[in-house]
Amino acid sequence: MSRALPGAATGSDREIDRRILEVFRSNEGVVSGARLSRLLAISRTAVWKHINTLKSLGYVIEAVPSQGYRLVSVPDLLTSAELSAGLPLQRIGTRITCLQEVDSTNLVAYRLAEQGAVEGTIVIADHQTGGKGRLGRRWESPAGVNLYCSVILRPQILPLYAPQLTFVSSVAVVDAILRTTNLQPVIKWPNDVLVNGQKVAGLLNEMSAETERVDFLVLGIGVNINMNREQFPVDLRHPATSLAIEAGRKIDRLQFARVLLESLDALYAAYLAEGYEPLRRRWLAHSAVMGRTVRVTSGENVVVGVVEGIDEHGGLVLSCAGGRHERVLAGDVAICNEGEACS
Amino acid sequence: MSRALPGAATGSDREIDRRILEVFRSNEGVVSGARLSRLLAISRTAVWKHINTLKSLGYVIEAVPSQGYRLVSVPDLLTSAELSAGLPLQRIGTRITCLQEVDSTNLVAYRLAEQGAVEGTIVIADHQTGGKGRLGRRWESPAGVNLYCSVILRPQILPLYAPQLTFVSSVAVVDAILRTTNLQPVIKWPNDVLVNGQKVAGLLNEMSAETERVDFLVLGIGVNINMNREQFPVDLRHPATSLAIEAGRKIDRLQFARVLLESLDALYAAYLAEGYEPLRRRWLAHSAVMGRTVRVTSGENVVVGVVEGIDEHGGLVLSCAGGRHERVLAGDVAICNEGEACS
């Protein structure tokens, strides 16, 4: 189902790599081999071996004669050490599994959850061969350019309220885009994030539950970060873009992922402490549909109305012709332009 | 995870066994070996071998000299051939997997569903070593006496409405008890079936879903059929009994299971054709709580009120003190006796 990253090492070797990077981060400039050896309680030879491993993973580490080592740059590769280093994460991201290629991060996370993985466990992949979108659709997932990540949650809620958690991921993605670019993202119900009217992220929640309790949820998050125009399929259902295309520059994937983890962790903590209401308000503040006339299509059903809000089950509340109110729980939304016939 | 029944044969061998039993069923009295050989297009020796296999499975088959064979009795063993023979099943029970011992039929069914098992697939076991009840509780599952069965459904509904399907199983269990005994079963919300105030069946629904659609449901059904008093643990949360204890006679497990399959299949077909409303009415007609004052406990929360019905999410609708209406979606129900303080 999945392959480890090249150069993947045992748990303890990887832990030493992680700690060496931590030492570099907390010390500007050159760090002596003797210091690393002392801090990590490993031999000078072992320090040298780990430095070489890090170099093979794409870290540029300069050897300064008779002084030590200096970290010049980190690779544009998502590794668990780089992702969480120094972040004050409480739940989400406290365990991270980074994989080079998977069928789908949601599938891997679902299996891990079935085997008892703790809340907050994250699966990230560089490439998905069978990336999943909503309703059995495909999510285009080329290697090395985007973020594909799935988060395991175990909230003590009824399955009925699980759709609320979709809004944790959409608000977190918006937040991460705002904090790492000068773009203005908006959310289209139920779970798309748009920039300049085009889709840059898609979210897919899955759950395993019994009638009265959720066993686990998997929040799947796909963000088009550095994908270029040629990498999009021609037959897309909705116009799509990437952060790099819209911003006109390459985006630092690692930095984006770190900011996203922080946002997810903080939003989920707030949800557990304060419930749905603050999350709903933040979602509405970034919504592309609030107050707009929309047409929602679900199979044969079409509903047209003005969006008044979202309810406690994640449903879209519409004010329709004749003052009738309707709640829509599933479907594809089209925003109607002013003056255009929409029904 | 599971072991096959002793004497389990290959698919085609089992198919021949099934067809021999069909011939016996549709022919009162003695069937000649020559006739069986012709009807099944197998040799006389093969007929003789299959008759011996059936005998080893507990079928009593008499050899009538120079006339043929006569089926005297079938074993109290649940086999897929016996379970579905002659029943006009449309969906539920069209594929049956019978196992001697499993951890939990729900777990086996969940795995089968993940691997793509078709709607209506049923897993039945003679013995569960880790039978599951609601909310992580245990379901006592001794060998050879009860029915433990899990049904895979793939209705095209929102996860929000999945609790409605619990009522398919509780109404079907009531129906099967009414048709096979002279007992008067009632349903206690959310999912217990009681006889004379004691629990005879428990239902556990599980689901795998994304926000906007159910991937599959597993309806777990456990019915205490011929369990005796000594087989119940002493520390039961609620008083429990079996059909045999209450009826004062041994109940035919196979007949009960066949009637249950018929009821499940018919109720599910009606649900797909006509929706929730007829099912809700049937549930209410058998309800032990309708119109009664109940106390519902869910963790720290306690709600007391008179039951007015069940809503479209399976919630119990209560009329509480001061005319307030409350909906309860999870919890344990205690029925308050008249004149007794209940709050």
Domain that holds residue B177: 80-285
Higher pLDDT, B30 or B56: B30
| Same domain? A11 vs A136 | no
**Does residue B301 lie in a domain region?**
yes
Q: How many domains does chain B have?
A: 3
| Chain A contact for B134 (CB, 8 A cutoff) | yes
Give the pLDDT score at A342.
Answer: 61
DSSP string of A54-83? HHHTT-EEEEETTTEEEEEE--S---HHHH
Question: Distance between CA A102 and CA B237 in Å, rounded?
Answer: 45
Determine whether the interchain pair B135/A210 forms a contact, defined as Cβ–Cβ distance below 8 Å.
Answer: yes
CB contact under 8 A, A158 and B134: no
The stretches of A138-213 forming alpha helices (DSSP H) are: 164-180
Chain centroid offset of residue A35 CA: 36
- Among the candidates A44, A73, A102, a domain finishes at A73
A68 close to A84: Cβ distance less than 8 angstroms:
no
Say if residues B132 and B139 touch (Cβ distance below 8 Å).
yes
- Among partner residues B166, B212, B213, which is closest to A211 by beta-carbon distance? B166
Question: What is the pLDDT at residue B11?
Answer: 56
- Asked if the structure places residue B12 within a domain, the reply is yes
pLDDT at B340: 63
Q: Could you tell me if B300 lies within 8 Å of chain A, comparing CB atoms?
A: no
Cα–Cα distance, A232 to A145 (Å, whole number): 12
**Amino acid making up residue B292:** R
A172 and A267 housed in the same domain: yes
Predicted confidence at residue B237, as pLDDT, reads 67
CB of A45 within 8 Å of a chain B CB? The answer is: no
Region class of B314: left (phi > 0), else alpha (psi between -120 and 50), else beta: left
Using an 8 Å CB-CB cutoff, list chain B residues near A209: 159, 206-207, 209
Q: What is the tens place of the pLDDT at every residue in A37-53? A: 999 999 999 999 999 98
| Residue A211 near chain B (CB below 8 Å) | yes
Report cis status (omega within 30 of 0) of the bond before A142: no
Instruction: Give the residue from B174, B168, B144, B180 showing the smallest Cα distance to B258.
Output: B180
Six-digit token string for B56: 């080893």
Residues A150 and A208 in one domain: yes
Q: Span B280-289, mean pLDDT? A: 93
The predicted structure's pLDDT at residue A191: 82
pLDDT of A141 = 86
B160/A206 touch (CB, cutoff 8 Å), yes or no: no
Tell me what pLDDT residue B73 has.
81
Nearest alpha-carbon partner for B126 in B106, B107, B142, B150 = B142
d(CA A123, CA A172): 17
Query: Any residues with CB less than 8 A from the CB of B328 and at least 6 apart, and which?
Result: B296, B298, B303, B315, B316, B318
Q: Does residue A79 belong to any structural domain of this protein?
A: no
**C-beta of residue B75 within 8 angstroms of C-beta of residue B104:** no
- CB spacing of A314 vs B211 below 8 angstroms: yes
Are B137 and B182 contained in the same domain? yes
φ, ψ dihedrals at B338, nearest 5°: -60, 140
pLDDT confidence of residue B200: 96
Whole-angstrom distance, CA of residue A215 vs CA of residue B110: 13
B197/B311 same-domain check: no
User: Is residue B64 located within the same domain as residue B84?
Assistant: no
CA B121 remoteness from chain centre: 13
Give yes or no for A300 touching B (CB within 8 A): no
pLDDT of residue B110 exceeding 50, the answer is yes
> Which chain A residue lies closest to B208 (C-alpha atoms)?
A208
Does residue B258 share a domain with residue B151?
yes
Q: Give the one of A206, A211, A314 whose C-beta lies nearest to B210's C-beta.
A: A206
pLDDT value of position A8: 43
Rounded Cα distance between A56 and B267, Å, is 62
Confidence of residue B49 (pLDDT cuts 50, 70, 90): very high
A159 contacts on B by Cβ (under 8 Å)? 159-160, 162, 207, 209
The amino acid that residue B338 corresponds to is E
Please say whether the beta carbons of A325 and A317 come within 8 A.
yes
| Residue B141, annotated as binding a ligand | no
Mean pLDDT of B117-131: 92
Determine the Cα–Cα distance for residues B243 and B255; give it in Å rounded to an integer: 13
Could you report the predicted ipTM of this complex, rounded to two decimals?
0.74
CATH of the domain at B242: 3.30.930.10
A82 lies in a domain? no
Report the residue of B1, B212, B296, B313 to disrupt the A interface, i.e. the one with the largest count of A CBs within 10 Å: B212
Amino acid identity for residue A144 in this structure: G
Q: How far apart are CA B121 and CA A102, in angstroms?
A: 30
Checking if the pLDDT of B6 tops 70, the result is: no
Same domain, A261 and A304: no
- A314 and A234, same structural domain? no
Say yes or no for a CB contact (<8 Å) between B212 and A134. yes
State yes or no: cis peptide before A190, omega within 30 of 0: yes
* Residue ranges of the binding site of A: 104-106, 128, 199
Query: Could you tell me if A261 and A297 lie in one domain?
Result: no
Cβ–Cβ gap A190/B212 under 8 Å: yes
Tell whether B32 and B56 lie within a shared domain.
yes
Residue A275 lies in a domain: yes
The CATH number covering residue B322 comes to 2.30.30.100
- C-alpha torsion sign, points A235, A239, A244, A249: positive
Please give the residue of chain A at the shortest CA–CA distance from B219. A210
**In a domain? residue B308:** yes
Test B211 with A135 for CB contact under 8 angstroms: no
Question: In chain A, what's the furthest Cα-to-Cα distance?
Answer: 82
B207 shares contact with chain A (CB less than 8 Å): yes
First to last CA, chain B: 46
- For chain B, the three-class secondary structure string (H helix, E strand, C coil) is CEEECCCCCCHHHHHHHHHHHHHHHHCCCCECHHHHHHHHCCCHHHHHHHHHHHHHCCCEEEEECCCEEEEEECCCCCCHHHHHCCCCCCCCCCCEEEEEEECCHHHHHHHHHHCCCCCCCEEEEEEECCCECHHHCECCCCCCCCEEEEEEECCCCCHHHCCHHHHHHHHHHHHHHHHHCCCCEEEECCCEEEECCEEEEEEEEEEEEECCEEEEEEEEEEECCCCCHHHCCCCCCCCECCHHHHHCCCCCHHHHHHHHHHHHHHHHHHHHHHCHHHHHHHHHHCECCCCCEEEEEECCEEEEEEEEEECCCCCEEEECHHHCEEEECCCEEEECCCCCCCC
Query: Residue A67: CA atoms inside 13 Å, Cβ hemisphere, count?
Result: 9
B133 falls in which pLDDT band (50, 70, 90)? confident
| CATH number, domain containing residue A11 | 1.10.10.10
Q: Please state, in angstroms and rounded to a whole number, the distance separating the CA atoms of residues A23 and B274.
A: 66
Distance (Å) from the alpha carbon of B272 to chain A's nearest alpha carbon = 17
Instruction: Name which of B166, B211, B219, B297 to mutate to probe chain A: the one with the most chain A Cβ atoms within 10 A of its Cβ.
Output: B211
- B contacts of A135 (beta carbons < 8 Å): 210, 212-213
Q: Which two tokens mark A104? A: 């789908």
- Are the beta carbons of B127 and B143 closer than 8 angstroms? yes
Does residue A343 lie in a domain region? Answer: no
Say if A98 is an interface residue toward chain B (CB within 8 Å): no
Q: Which residues of B touch A205 (CB under 8 A)?
A: 210-211
Residues paired with A140 in a beta bridge:
none
Of the candidates A163, A209, A210, the beta carbon closest to that of B211 is on: A163
A103 token code pair: 């069928």
Look at B28-32, B246-250, B283-287 and tell me which has the smallest mean pLDDT. Answer: B28-32
Distance of CA B28 to the CA centre of its chain: 30
- Pairwise pLDDT comparison (B5 vs B11), residue with the higher score: B11
B311 and chain A in contact, CB less than 8 A: no
Contact B313, B300 (CB under 8 A): no
B293 has which bridge partners? Answer: B306
Contact A236, A184 (CB under 8 A): no
- A210 to B204: CB separation less than 8 angstroms, yes or no: yes
Burial class (CB in 10 A: 0-12, 13-18, 19+), B66: exposed
Asked whether residue B179 falls in the same domain as residue B150, the answer is: yes
Residues A134 and A188: their CA atoms lie apart, in Å, by: 14
pLDDT of residue A4: 44
Q: With an 8 Å Cβ cutoff, are B135 and A212 in contact?
A: yes
First to last CA, chain A: 45
Asked whether the beta carbons of residue B191 and residue A211 sit closer than 8 angstroms, the reply is: yes
User: Angle CA(A168)–CA(A171)–CA(A176) in degrees, nearest 5?
Assistant: 115
For residues A225 and A244, give the distance between their C-alpha atoms in angstroms, rounded to a whole number: 6
Residues of chain A falling short of pLDDT 50: 1-9
Q: Nearest to residue A150, comparing CAs of A89, A195, A107?
A: A107
pLDDT at B342: 61
Residues of B in contact with A206 (CB under 8 A): 208-210, 215
Q: Which two tokens stand for residue B89?
A: 């099943």
Tell whether B341 is covered by a domain. no
pLDDT of residue A237: 67
